[in-house]
Amino acid sequence: MTDTPNATTIEVPTTSKTYLCRVGAHILSQVGNITRETCGGTKACVVSESHVMPLYGMEVMDSLKAAGYQVVPAVFPAGEASKNLTTLGELLETVANYELTRGDVIVALGGGVTGDVAGLVAALYLRGIKVVQVPTSLLAMVDSSVGGKTAIDIPQGKNLVGAFWQPSAVIADIDCFKTIPHELFTDSCGEVIKHAVLADLELFKTLQKTPLNSGELDERAMANIVARNIRIKRDVVAADEREQGLRQTLNLGHTIGHAVEAAYHFKLGHGSCVAIGLCAMARASAKKGWCSQETAQAIEDLVRAHQLPYDTKIDHEVIEEYATHDKKRRGDSITIVVPTKIGSVTLRKISRAELRELIDLGCGSGRQP
């Protein structure tokens, strides 16, 4: 795959495999040819959810058929609530009933939930078959479709059951943004802001000038921002595929964010929860002297400019309890990601008591939600 006037190709090298991400407008019609080129096989199972399949399923399946695949669908109910053991089991049985072989492929068509669940199905079925990620949400394009993390939720916490399973290709068509409700698109901006704080001062400045959800950015600008986010994640994943060190920095905002998400029973969007966690950690870090007050304020201001929540009134004991069940915990300690300045972060290993202190310092100033 090479760059074209309406698409950019980004290579993602990891220790387990190297694959390409295609980013552009009006490129869903390329899914079949890209899948054929990168995966081969005879059958393609398109795994999607009930909101996305009616929008894009036919175009993607037609593209796969034109590329010579026998195409079969597998659709589950939309929403984070479906990201569970029941859905996983049903999808595995469906794929088995379709008699996919190790040479065949799963095509994950949808947002982050679809990518996570379909990716885990691919990782588990026959001990691993190929998967092509076709993200249709901003959040999935800039984050979950790249890097090979697959997972489902269980009552004890988010993403606690999963596997690292890299896709064979990622195809991100920003034309899909046209069918995303403004509220959902806004929610996804939380991860874009996180990436800017993590590693890209220029992206941060771009977002300060024109919020991503303002409606003022054209297709080329949107595609460039998505591509910049993918490159940020690419650089981290290439250096640390299995989250033993550097990749943990991608969890910026997630320790408190995931706790808030669980406390809301996943009824508040992931990007919104990350925004809350990001601002909370920034405020606490400023009070601890780990970053300047100006840095913390700039982060909060950018979150607010995107109409995202920046604090929570959830009881601190509840946040602490959920946070200590997070998969980032190691024994009696937990690794947190601390912003030091815009575009730079550091990892700190802290105790549960220190975590509670940060929650007290960063959360509950009476702001929303």
Q: Which residues are catalytic?
A: 127, 149, 191, 233, 243, 247, 251, 254, 258, 270
* Rounded CA separation 309/320 (Å): 19
In contact, 10 and 37? CB cutoff 8 Å: no
* Rounded CA separation 245/365 (Å): 32
Cis peptide bond N-terminal to 369, omega within 30: yes
Sequence-separated contacts (24+) of 287-292 with Cβ below 8 Å: 287/361, 287/362, 288/358, 288/361, 290/338, 290/339, 290/340, 290/346, 290/348, 291/338, 291/339, 291/340, 291/341, 292/341
Task: Name the β-bridge partners of 349.
Answer: 335
Which of 178, 147, 185 has its CA nearest to residue 165?
Answer: 147
Report residue 179 as tokens: 């069918």
Report residue 257 as tokens: 């964010």
Q: HSE on the CB side for 369, CA within 13 Å?
A: 16
Report residue 367 as tokens: 């702001």
Task: Name the β-bridge partners of 105.
Answer: 44, 130
* Rounded CA separation 44/47 (Å): 9
In contact, 200 and 228? CB cutoff 8 Å: yes
